Structure 1
Amino acid sequence: MLERDRIEEDGTTLEGYEPQATRRQAADGESSRANRGWWDRNADEYQSEHGSFLGDDRFVWGPEGLDEAEAGLLGEVAGRDVLEIGAGAAQCSRWLAARGARPVALDLSHRQLQHALRIDGGPGKGVPLVEADAAALPFRDGSFDLACSAYGAMPFVADPVRVFREVRRVLRPGGRWVFSVTHPFRWAFPDEPGPEGLSVAASYFDRTPYVEQDEEGRAVYVEHHRTMGDRVRDVVAGGFRLVDLVEPEWPAWNSQEWGAWSPLRGNLIPGTAIYVCERAG
């Protein structure tokens, strides 16, 4: 993981402090607070480091570089109302808008949405932006035809079924919900892009969250692990049918490393899982 700054109660930081990484339980509230704070603090670095890969109006499903333009997992988007969850700087939503969709970009992080405003050139000049938690969507029932999330929200929530039920609520009958996350298989390996990341170091079946915490034991970053079977059961419990499961292969053209994603690992083990779901009932 990236080195974090120390977080003081007054919001200031102490440069050079690296939080303690551990595996422990972290409930909804703690996870949400920790990840909102982390993304607010690290949005500038994230957009600076990955902005050229993401583009201003590109819909990419993960570090492998699979584009929605190629994959077509959402189906026809023109004329559709689309909710992007965990939108970051709303790159995917801009791509959707350019193809005739009516997207709304939602994110937990205020700072990420400020980057969306920067790219758009100011308020009212781009897609609608909403700051909210994915587990409590501020929309009426049946507001959208499609929902999508490219590595947004789902890796960071303690109760994915609660999110799925919220997404189902705001979708119209037959609506499609497509989201990508770190491939569950990766949790058995060290989070390293080189050869050291190719040896199994932990149990794939250990669902204990990955937590970075400060000196007081307060979480400042949380990721939650679900096995492949867990994800499928969560999708069904949330009121969806799983219609496809995509595991992108690493393409020959992609030579970049993105954190623990790399051509070395990508050519040997899966890095991303994309779940294509439809609203049941």
Structure 2
Amino acid sequence: MLAECSDQHERILPGPERERKPNLERRTTSADRQLLGAVQCCRDLEAVEAEYTTFRRASEGSNPPDGKASRCAENVFRHRKPRMWWHEAPEAELSLATIRAVSEPDPLLDHAVRNAAFWDEVNAPRYAEPGRRAWAADEISWGIFGVPESGLGALPGNVDGLDIIELGCGSAYFSSWLARRGARVTGVDISGEQLKTALTLQNQHDLHFPLIQGNAESVPLPDASFDLAISEYGASIWADPYRWIPEASRLLRPGGELVFLVNGTLWVLTVPQTDTEGPAADRLLRPYFGMHRFEWSAESGVEFHLGYGDWIRLLRANEFDVVDLIEVQAPEGASSGSYGLVNHAWARKYPAEQIWRAKKRGDESRIEASATSA
């Protein structure tokens, strides 16, 4: 499962070449065309921001101009030069609203290319049914053991009225929980297949918010747009933290919060190389120092994990103060479901998961006002 982790000097260097490099752009299929309709060309980044604003206002109940509203805006970057696309549909079709932003493969971002293909081809079908079950749940919960938020306190006390972005939203079940509680949510994910599942579930539950297909390390939205950024096994482990943490800081307003869940550090250090060797045990199998990029030998995806000190330094360097580190203990009697790399008894003794909570320096009035009204 786990190849040797690279040293810190290789943080932005390309990983090993694959015989077949997947295309992150993923051409539109007939199913996509049925969902998204005809495409027209637009020329600059300001247009995609305008389309995003139009949809947000329309989804909040204001009247779109001329009886129409943006249904989808697709931002395709080729050689770092933006090329925009938008779709228009009658107001009645806002249920299909989504924003897509896809980055052209970059030799410095091979992990993004590989992860997009890995999730589209392998993990999206695997996690579609768990996503459906999570959308149907009322209570917010975290991680593989479904630990209730009410017992962890990782989120602000009241999210009503907050602008929230989920980085690596997958099927967007976490976003759906927050949207039901009055938040204005935007989901970002690199996998088109995951977002198709999210879009289907939005329609089934009649709950709609923007979705962006793109790399959480480079989100095509304006600075200081959100009060809260979250990630539960999304960008938090599938994007390079030395890229996505600065991006989260850029997207957050002063005083905004960042909350993200990752695998526990002890789990990363003790889980065997392959699935067939069983779950994490009580032996250290790899060095702690130099943790960063990890490649599982049986999978084409790339994960990222840091040590505690590296996380703290990275967060502080990007205008965050660490508020809490919640080391999640598996509840008694909980099941890890089909996720066989964590033994329940082990996770009762050691944290298999941990949630970081940080606050961007600056004006704290918006989050504090929300918490006060809880």
Shorter-chain TM-score category? 0.7 to 0.9
Write the mapping of 1:1-281 to structure 2, written as runs, cut at 5 A.
8=20, 28-41=108-121, 42-48=123-129, 50-51=130-131, 54-56=134-136, 59-75=140-156, 76-121=158-203, 126-158=208-240, 160-191=241-272, 197-207=281-291, 209-212=293-296, 220-257=300-337, 258-281=339-362
* Shift in alpha-carbon separation, 1:10–1:188, aligned structure 2, 3 A: closer
Gaps of 5+ in 1: 12-26
1:22 matched residue in structure 2 = none
What SS class does the counterpart of residue 267 from structure 1 fall into? Answer: helix
What SS class does the counterpart of residue 274 from structure 1 fall into? Answer: strand
Which of the pair has more CA radius of gyration? 2
Instruction: Tell me the alpha carbon deviations over residues 79-132 of structure 1, each in whole angstroms, 9 at most, x when there is no partner.
Output: 111101110101011111111111111111111101101112279952211111
CA distance in 2 between counterparts of 1:170 and 1:222 reads: 24
RMSD of the TM alignment (CA)?
2.9
CA distance in 2 between counterparts of 1:112 and 1:279 reads: 29
What SS class does the counterpart of residue 147 from structure 2 fall into? Answer: coil
CA distance in 2 between counterparts of 1:244 and 1:252 reads: 23
Aligned residue type for 2:325: L
What SS class does the counterpart of residue 281 from structure 2 fall into? Answer: helix
Aligned residue type for 1:118: T
Contact 1:194 1:265 in 2 (8 A): no
Contact 2:280 2:343 in 1 (8 A): no
**Per chain length, whose mean CA-contact separation is higher, i.e. which structure has more relative contact order (CA < 8 Å, sep 6+)?**
1
Instruction: Tell me the alpha carbon deviations over residues 19-60 of structure 1, each in whole angstroms, 9 at most, x when there is no partner.
Output: xxxxxxxx8511111111111112011223x34663445533
CA distance in 1 between counterparts of 2:324 and 2:196 reads: 34
CA distance in 2 between counterparts of 1:51 and 1:212 reads: 24
The structure with more helix, counted as a fraction of residues: 2
Contact 1:187 1:204 in 2 (8 A): no
Aligned residue pairs: how many? 257
Q: TM-score, normalised by structure 2?
A: 0.62
Contact 2:22 2:117 in 1 (8 A): no
CA distance in 1 between counterparts of 2:329 and 2:154 reads: 16
Instruction: Tell me the alpha carbon deviations over residues 120-161 of structure 1, each in whole angstroms, 9 at most, x when there is no partner.
Output: 227995221111111111111111111111111121223x13
